[in-house]
């Protein structure tokens, strides 16, 4: 009995020491506490309240996110297809939404699931400086061609004027305009003027911004490369320089059309929130690729016709070509817009889409017009 008592007291003492050790292990990191204290002081000075996101409940995060988006409980409930009482219960931590509902809530708040759970939003996408540097390079190349044009003995003044006009169209009216417009859209979150944007469709805004940055960088690279290579025409004789210039413009236009479609198509699942909208958009790209393919073929055959027959501007043959081009555009645009409308209706009704008779008929008519243009 005398020997047992000291052993029991030793175990109690050891147990207390271990408990203190465990408590010390669970004590927050001193630097984290100091950082939170500094943030709290800054928030108080700004008239706000700092809440460490690690200590927020799911309901608290929903309430804070809803208030940040200026939504009422009823409006959030309508977006989620639930009752207002359900949202109220979530915010008061009476019930919890399931993981799928939490993902939808995060998307409405413009957050990923990880960002919502961590209580921190990643920095917003901004326009990098690369497109601006490329634009400056394009302008420098145009100025160089203007300065070197007077020394080029192999080109006529008319040919020089055509080269400069093509440079200005590529560098100013396309590259500069798109860069300014995309930069403003990214800064203001206003995408209403972008082709294909539908205000009734729900988008992931940050992903849309990434797509615009990617397109702007690609347009800048291709525009700078085209204008830079256009300078090589100054070293060539006039017939050859004209063919090179027209070829460069042709490949520039084809690259813009094809790459814009590919970049947008590959990003559909990232930019569109709802699966139904993704299906509709993918179905619509069938007619878009059809239109681009026909336009590329028609422009290529037109270029070959003009070169092989040596057709010049302001001649009856040149004016006749404008008529064929207008007829071709009318047919292909009718096929494009009708199939876009039909694809949306088919996906909404059946869940799938197959090209219809209208697209087939427009294909036959486009082939007939193209053949007529070549043989005329």
Is 289 a residue whose pLDDT tops 60? yes
Is 338 a residue whose pLDDT tops 90? yes
Query: What is the rounded average pLDDT of the residues 331-340?
Result: 94
Global pTM exceeds 0.95: no
Residue 294 makes CB contacts below 8 A (sequence gap 6+) with: 328, 332, 363, 366
Is 277 a residue whose pLDDT tops 50? yes
What pLDDT, in 10s, does the model give residues 207-266?
A: 889 999 999 999 999 999 999 988 888 777 777 887 888 889 989 999 999 999 999 999
Collapsing DSSP to helix, strand or coil, 111 comes out as coil
Position 150 scores a pLDDT of 62
Reported confidence tier of residue 368, pLDDT bands at 50, 70, 90: very high
Position 288 scores a pLDDT of 92
Reported confidence tier of residue 296, pLDDT bands at 50, 70, 90: very high
> From CA 261, how far away is CA 265, in angstroms rounded?
6
* Higher-pLDDT residue of 359, 190: 359
Torsion of CA 27, 28, 34, 40, to 10 degrees: -110
The count of other CB atoms within 10 Å of the CB of residue 207 is: 17
Runs of H (alpha helix) within 27-57? 30-45
Q: With contact defined as beta carbons under 8 Å apart, do 270 and 212 qualify?
A: no
Query: Look-up: residue for tokens 């008529």?
Result: 323
Residue 60 makes CB contacts below 8 A (sequence gap 6+) with: 51, 91, 93
Nearest to 338 by CA among 297, 370, 290: 290
Position 34 scores a pLDDT of 44
Reported confidence tier of residue 119, pLDDT bands at 50, 70, 90: low
Is 294 a residue whose pLDDT tops 90? yes
Q: With contact defined as beta carbons under 8 Å apart, do 331 and 369 qualify?
A: yes
> From CA 116, how far away is CA 123, in angstroms rounded?
14
| β-bridge partners, 272 | 203
What pLDDT, in 10s, does the model give residues 82-108?
A: 999 999 999 988 898 988 888 888 888
Runs of H (alpha helix) within the chain? 4-26, 30-45, 58-68, 73-80, 84-91, 99-108, 113-118, 130-149, 157-168, 177-188, 205-230, 238-266, 268-271, 275-308, 316-350, 357-375
Position 233 scores a pLDDT of 80
Is 332 a residue whose pLDDT tops 70? yes
Position 196 scores a pLDDT of 75
pLDDT > 70 in the chain, percent: 81
- The mean pLDDT of the chain is 80
Reported confidence tier of residue 41, pLDDT bands at 50, 70, 90: very low
Query: What is the rounded average pLDDT of the residues 325-340?
Result: 94
Region of poorest pLDDT, from 5-9, 113-117, 134-138, 290-294: 5-9
């Amino acid at each position: 009995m005398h020997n047992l008592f000291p052993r029991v007291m030793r175990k109690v003492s050891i147990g207390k020491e271990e408990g203190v050790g465990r408590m010390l292990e669970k004590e927050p990191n001193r630097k984290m506490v100091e950082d939170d204290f500094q943030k709290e002081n800054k928030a108080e000075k700004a008239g706000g309240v700092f809440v460490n996101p690690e200590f927020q409940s799911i309901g608290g995060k929903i309430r804070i996110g809803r208030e940040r988006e200026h939504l009422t409980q009823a409006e959030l409930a309508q977006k989620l297809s639930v009752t207002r009482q359900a949202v109220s219960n979530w915010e008061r931590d009476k019930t919890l939404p399931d993981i799928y509902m939490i993902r939808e809530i995060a998307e409405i708040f413009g957050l990923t699931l990880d960002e919502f759970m961590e209580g921190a939003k990643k920095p917003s996408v901004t326009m990098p400086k690369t497109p601006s540097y490329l634009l400056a390079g394009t302008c420098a190349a145009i100025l160089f061609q203007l300065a070197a044009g007077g020394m080029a003995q192999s080109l006529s003044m008319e040919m020089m004027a055509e080269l400069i006009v093509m440079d200005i169209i590529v560098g100013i009216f396309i590259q500069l305009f798109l860069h300014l417009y995309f930069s403003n859209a990214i800064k203001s979150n206003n995408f209403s003027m972008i082709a294909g944007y539908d205000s009734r469709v729900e988008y992931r805004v940050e992903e849309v911004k990434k797509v615009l940055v990617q397109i702007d960088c690609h347009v800048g690279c291709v525009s700078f490369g085209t204008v830079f290579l256009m300078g090589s025409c100054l070293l060539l004789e006039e017939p050859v320089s004209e063919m090179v210039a027209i070829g460069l413009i042709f490949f520039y236009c084809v690259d813009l059309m094809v790459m814009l479609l590919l970049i947008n198509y590959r990003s559909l699942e990232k930019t569109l929130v709802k699966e139904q909208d993704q299906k509709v958009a993918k179905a619509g790209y069938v007619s878009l690729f059809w239109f681009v393919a026909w336009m590329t073929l028609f422009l290529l055959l037109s270029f070959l016709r003009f070169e092989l027959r040596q057709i010049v501007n302001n001649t009856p043959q040149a004016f006749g070509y404008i008529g064929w081009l207008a007829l071709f555009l009318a047919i292909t645009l009718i096929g494009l817009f009708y199939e876009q409308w039909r694809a949306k209706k088919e996906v909404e009704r059946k869940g799938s889409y197959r090209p219809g008779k209208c697209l087939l008929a427009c294909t036959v008519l486009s082939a007939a017009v193209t053949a007529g243009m070549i043989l005329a």
